[in-house]
Amino acid sequence: MRMSLHIFSASILLSMATGALAFGQELPAGALLVGQWDFDEGEGLWVEDSTRFAHGGYLGGSVDADEDDPTWAGEGHDGGCLRFDGVGDSVCVPHGAPMGPVEGIIVEAWIKQSARTKFGRVVDKGLTFDLYVHDNGQASFRLLGAEAHGVRSPKPVPLDEWVSLRGEVYGGKMRLLVNGEVVAERAYTEAVTDSHHDLYIGSASLGRPFAGLIDEVKLWNVGWEPPPAMQAAEPDEDTIGLWHLEDLQATDASGRQTAAEVVNAQVVEGKIGKALRFNGDGWVRVADNATLDISEELCIDAWVFQRERSPYARVVEKSDWTWGVWITRTGVVDFFFKTTDGDWHHVVTMDDVPLRQWTHLRAEFDGFEAVVYINGNESVRSRMGPGQDRRGARIQPPAHGTPATGGAG
C-alpha cells in the first residue's frame, strides 16, 4: 500500500491586477492580462508580477547580485521604476505558459530613454516578439525577430521624457502605438507562435541593452484560456496526512493526524485557497505517531512558492532524517529516506525549483525506485542498488520524532 502525504499551498501569491491599457482604449475580446511588472519594490533583486500568475523576475544575469542589475529609481511614471545603464542591465522573467501567445499578444511599457543604443530592447521574448527603440530613435514591434514581421514608427520617440509604447497583434492586424496613438499598422494573418524563451526587460538574452528608465510593463495574451480552477485535494484510503494550510490551525483533512503546532507563520493567498507563509524561522509540527512510521511505500506532494534560497530548506521532514523533501541552496530537490540496511538515500533532481513561482513537487518511493517530479515532469529516477533485497528496500522507522514543514517562502 502506498502511503501518501500531502501539503498544499505553502507560501504567497499576489493579488489580481486591473489590467487597463495606458490610454483607456478597449481591450479586444479574449485578452487576458498575464503579466504586470510595476517596479515599485524600490529595493532587492526581484520584481513582482501583480497578476494571479505571479511571473516574478530577477535583476541582471542571475538571481544573485551582479554587474548587470539595473538600479531602483523613485522617479517613475507612476511610483518607482528601474534605471538601465545601456551596457548590460536587464530583468529576466522565466517563461511560463500564460506568456505564450495563442491568437495574439499585446505588450505595453512606459519608457524615458536617456540615450540611444543599437536596437535597445524594452521588452524581448526571443523569437516570440520584441518591442525596442532603434539607434535613430524609431520604435519597432516585431514577431519572429524579423522586420518582415514587424512595424516601425515613422518618427523617433523623444529622449528624456516619459513615453508609452505598445505593440499588438490580433484580429488580422499588427499595430504600434506611441502615447496611445497608432503610428504604424499593417495586415498580419500569420499564426502567432511562442518560442518558449524567457521574457527580458531592458535587454535581450544576448544583449542589445536599453538606456534610461522603464516602468509599468504589461502583457496580455489574446485567446489564451487558463486551465480550470484547481480544486483542493481530497484524502483517500492511502492518505496518512493532508494539510491544506488554510489557517493557523493546520488541520489534517485526512483525520489521521493530531492537532499541529504552528510557529511564526502568516496566512496569505495561496495556489489553492489560502496558504501559510514562512520567513525562515517558522514551521508546522505534527506530533509523532505510528501512522507516520512508513516502512514500505511513500508519496509526498506539495505546492511551494520559494522566495529566496537557503541551505536545505525543509518542505517536509520526519525527524531523525527518516524521510523528507528539501530544496537545497542551489534550488534542486533532495528527496531522502533511510532504509533498514542503515543507508540514507538522497535522490537529487536534475532541475531547479524556480524562485517566486508556484511549483508542484512530488516524490515517490515504491521499494525499488525513487522518482521526483517537478510540475508533473520527471526530473530524476533512481533504482536501488544491486545489494538491496530483491523484494525492495524498506524505510527504517525512527525511534521517535515528528514531521515538520516550513522554511523561507
Q: What is the mean pLDDT of residues 241-258?
A: 89
Answer with the residue of higher pLDDT: 188 or 279.
188
At residue 150, φ and ψ (nearest 5 deg) are: -145, 180
Across the strands, what pairs with 362? Answer: 301, 373
> What integer pLDDT is reported at residue 262 of this predicted model?
93
Q: What is the mean pLDDT of residues 220-224?
A: 94
The three-state secondary structure class of 348 is: strand
- CA nearest to 118, candidates 200, 213, 209, 212: 209
| Band (395; pLDDT cuts 50, 70, 90) | very low
2-12+229-405 CATH, one of 2.60.34.10, 1.10.150.120, 2.60.120.200, 3.40.1260.10: 2.60.120.200
- Cell readout for 241 is 496526512
Please, are residues 109 and 124 in contact by the beta-carbon 8 Å criterion? no
Place of cell 521574448: 125
> What integer pLDDT is reported at residue 403 of this predicted model?
52
Q: Which helix (H) or strand (E) holds 336?
A: strand 332-338
Give Cβ neighbours of residue 273 (< 8 Å, ≥ 6 apart). Answer: 9, 232, 244, 246
Strands 297-304 and 2-7: parallel
> What integer pLDDT is reported at residue 270 of this predicted model?
82
> What integer pLDDT is reported at residue 409 of this predicted model?
55
Longest dimension (CA), the chain: 76
Place of cell 534610461: 212
> What integer pLDDT is reported at residue 321 of this predicted model?
76
The three-state secondary structure class of 407 is: coil
Answer with the residue of higher pLDDT: 121 or 402.
121
Beta strands in 171-253 (DSSP E): 173-178, 181-187, 199-201, 211-222, 239-243
pTM of structure: 0.70
**Angle formed at CA 341 by CA 338 and CA 347, multiple of 5 degrees:** 40
Give start-end residues of each CATH 2.60.120.200 domain in the chain.
2-12+229-405, 31-222
At residue 148, φ and ψ (nearest 5 deg) are: -65, -15
**94-136 residue pLDDT tens:** 998 889 999 999 999 999 999 999 999 999 999 999 999 999 9
CATH T-level assignment (fold) for domain 31-222: Jelly Rolls (2.60.120)
Of 155-169, 223-237, 295-309, 373-387, the range with the lowest mean pLDDT is 223-237
pLDDT tops 80 at residue 172: yes
| Band (393; pLDDT cuts 50, 70, 90) | very low
**63-96 residue pLDDT tens:** 889 999 999 999 999 999 999 999 999 999 999 8
**Angle formed at CA 295 by CA 293 and CA 299, multiple of 5 degrees:** 90
pLDDT tops 60 at residue 394: no
**CA 41, 45, 48, 49 torsion-angle sign:** positive
Q: Which amino acid is at 181?
A: E
DSSP 117: -
Measured distance CA(208)–CA(88) in Å, rounded: 8
| Band (376; pLDDT cuts 50, 70, 90) | confident
